[in-house]
Amino acid sequence: MSGNVRRRLAGSAAIAAVGVLLASCSVNVPDPEAPKPSPSESTLSTPTITPGHDAEAVAAKDLPMTAGSTLASGDPVTVSSRMEEVPGWSLVHSGLQGEVRYQRTDGCALAIRVSVNQGPLVVPGDDNASTRALFQYLDPGIAAETLKPASLRWGGDADKPQHSVEFLALDSSSPGGTAALVLARLFSAPASSVYISLACPNPGALASARAEMVSKLAVVPPS
């Protein structure tokens, strides 16, 4: 079990490095005595059905940090991506060590991970605090004030009214240098997280890549 946990944490740290190291920052090694999330797997797939859970009501409205308790316990959200439809983007791998990765011809890289069994980092009923705990676990050097609200599309049905799901974001852009963005949310009710990193050669490329990402990614609630 300990070997699997170490491999799981190494995968998370690698994604964090995409969003932070390219911006000339360092990622600290988590405290080995800190509680460790259990091994997880990629869940970019069809969500399960939870009896008694009003999935339509949850999907029919925005999901700010304060609404995390409306999700069903145990069933993770998923991520729907159509980045390969955008000119210049291509799929590098899908499901390798729990992540999906895309590359743009100008050098921008996008990585998406959905993780489960995140209970040790969860602050019950508080997605904001849980998400901050996730960021702190991946890099204890992150200052709380550097995390800013961000959002993605909530729900995978393009023919229905659009709603948003709130994330916390860390922007590590460097004027005249590399640029990177990390969006994450730890959903406290299902004890699962969505972690997205986007890294580009410069801030201008990051801005355009972020706009394309926002247009082609959707976070999908459990059905």
Structure confidence at residue 147 (pLDDT) = 97
Structure confidence at residue 123 (pLDDT) = 96
Q: How crowded is the C-beta side of 162, counted as CA atoms within 13 Å?
A: 10
Q: 75, 223 in Cβ contact below 8 A? A: no
Query: What are the residues whose beta carbons fall under 8 Å from the beta carbon of 188, sequence distance 6 or more?
Result: 68, 69, 122, 123, 124, 125, 126, 127, 130
Q: 42, 14 in Cβ contact below 8 A? A: no
Q: pLDDT of 153-184, one tens digit each? A: 998 777 778 899 999 999 998 888 899 999 99
pTM of the predicted protein model:
0.77
Structure confidence at residue 41 (pLDDT) = 43
**pLDDT below 50 — which residues of the chain?**
1-35, 38-48, 51-52
Structure confidence at residue 75 (pLDDT) = 85
Angle in degrees, CA 65, 71, 76, rounded to 5: 100
Helix or strand (DSSP H, E) at 127: helix 127-138
Structure confidence at residue 53 (pLDDT) = 54
Q: How crowded is the C-beta side of 123, counted as CA atoms within 13 Å?
A: 12
